[in-house]
Amino acid sequence: MMSADTLLSAIDHPLLRPLIVILGPTAVGKTEIAIQVAESLSAEIISADSRLLYTGMDIGTAKPTLAERSRISHHLIDVTPPDQIWSLAQYQSAAYQTIDAIHQRKRLPILVGGTGQYIHAITQGWKIPPANPDSALRKTLESWAELIGYQGLHDRLAHLDPQAAKAIDPPNVRRTIRALEVIFTTGHTFSEQKSRLEPPYQIYRIGISRPRPELYQRIDERIDGMLAAGFIDEVRGLLDQGYSPDLPTLSAIGYGEIISYLQGEDSLDAAITQIKRRTRIFVRRQANWFKPTDAAIHWFQVCQDTPALIVQTIRAWLSSLPANETNQKQ
């Protein structure tokens, strides 16, 4: 068993700076597992879910509850209103600062989420494309999207940059436009500009998985639970506050469908069916980021003992770090 002193030395060592990553698909159970792990390891949690950044979007994003957040410190949740969109570069900068602050408090940072871009930007040290937004070009691309539809725009991106298109959900017009904007302003593909700079952390990646039928059942139950918890009222409240239904944040899975229902464009049954369908598609896209064959990810299939097994594995990894081996021999 790793001692508290050994854990502290790993966190406090200037060359080690450990970072734990807990990743996996939506609805797999990352939140509760991460909280239990953090409670055992003097840790704090950093969200790596792009939707959790936005205030007022609680039920539809399955945001950790206030009770859950009271158990363990959570970061990068509720940091900006829905109409002030954070870029990937903003998230990366804030995450780096948060990780450093946690280390300074001599605690262990745990990055938790299912947004592949966010996790890779941190763990792979992406250098975000430097192209500044071009308002005229952006308006042109937005008009083009209205003319040919989000799928048509995504198809154009796939022709120019298949790798970038594979990582972007077609309904996410904002990200498609951003990728095209970078291509047109720099003359290089969006994907090739994500050069990397080795992050200054010792990183241990943990993947959480369930059999696909079980995961799909949990997705359906989660969505039904969201509706029972007042998801429709949450979306109505955002619109009543004056947030435009055309905001990229309000086109996220669930929000766009409920808006269509509230505006009389779809029945509630049709909206629910579409939410469940889009969520399953999203899970399959997440698998492109988190592959079971990735040797860098230590996968755990969820069972009653999963949190304890993960804690044991992390303690063993921390003990194996060179500085701790030296300390234990002295």
pLDDT tens string 265-299? 999 999 999 999 999 999 998 988 888 889 999 99
Q: Residues 222-253, buried b or exposed e (16+ Cβ, 10 A)?
A: ebeebbeeebbebbeebbeeebeeebebbbbb
- Measured CA to CA, the distance from residue 205 to residue 30 in angstroms comes to 13
Gyration radius of the chain over CA positions: 21
Q: Say if residue 238's pLDDT is above 80.
A: yes
The pLDDT, as a whole number, for residue 84 is 94
Q: Say if residue 216's pLDDT is above 90.
A: yes
Contact 170, 151 (CB under 8 A): yes
What is the average pLDDT score of the chain? 89
* Domains of the chain listed by start with CATH number: 4-127+196-329 (3.40.50.300), 135-193 (1.10.20.140)
- Grade residue 10 by pLDDT with cuts at 50, 70 and 90: low
- State the average pLDDT over residues 4-13: 56
Q: Token pair 């299939």 is at which residue?
A: 301
- State the average pLDDT over residues 294-312: 95
Please enumerate in sequence order all residues whose Cβ is within 8 A of that of 180, keeping only pairs 6 or more positions apart, or say none.
Answer: 141, 153, 156, 157, 160, 190
Map residue 88 onto helix, strand or coil. helix
Contact 123, 45 (CB under 8 A): no
Q: Say if residue 251's pLDDT is above 60.
A: yes
Q: Say if residue 22's pLDDT is above 70.
A: yes
- Measured CA to CA, the distance from residue 87 to residue 138 in angstroms comes to 15
Q: Say if residue 133's pLDDT is above 80.
A: no
The pLDDT, as a whole number, for residue 44 is 98
Map residue 324 onto helix, strand or coil. helix
- State the average pLDDT over residues 290-313: 94
Please enumerate in sequence order all residues whose Cβ is within 8 A of that of 15, keeping only pairs 6 or more positions apart, or say none.
Answer: 323
- Grade residue 183 by pLDDT with cuts at 50, 70 and 90: confident
- State the average pLDDT over residues 208-228: 97
**For the chain, how many helices (H) and strands (E)?**
14, 8
Report phi then psi at 180, rounded to 5. Answer: -65, -35
- Measured CA to CA, the distance from residue 168 to residue 277 in angstroms comes to 17
- State the average pLDDT over residues 163-187: 84
114-128, 129-143, 177-191, 234-248: least confidently modelled range: 129-143
Report phi then psi at 112, rounded to 5. Answer: -130, 130
The pLDDT, as a whole number, for residue 178 is 82
Q: Say if residue 328's pLDDT is above 50.
A: no
Q: Say if residue 130's pLDDT is above 70.
A: no
Q: Say if residue 14's pLDDT is above 70.
A: no
Q: Say if residue 36's pLDDT is above 90.
A: yes
Contact 137, 177 (CB under 8 A): no
pLDDT digits (tens, 9 = 90+) for 69-113: 999 999 999 999 999 999 888 999 999 999 999 999 999 999 999
Tell me the pTM: 0.81
Nearest by Cα to 12 from 330, 224, 327: 327
For 22, 228, 264, 318, the CA distances from 1, given in Å and listed in that order, are 22, 44, 59, 11
Residue type, 298: H
- Count of Cβ atoms closer than 10 Å to residue 106 Cβ: 12
Ranges assigned E (strand) in 95-221: 108-113, 126-127, 195-196, 202-209
- Grade residue 5 by pLDDT with cuts at 50, 70 and 90: low
Q: Say if residue 188's pLDDT is above 90.
A: no
Percent pLDDT > 70 in the chain is 90
How many CA atoms does the CB half-sphere of 275 hold within 13 Å?
31
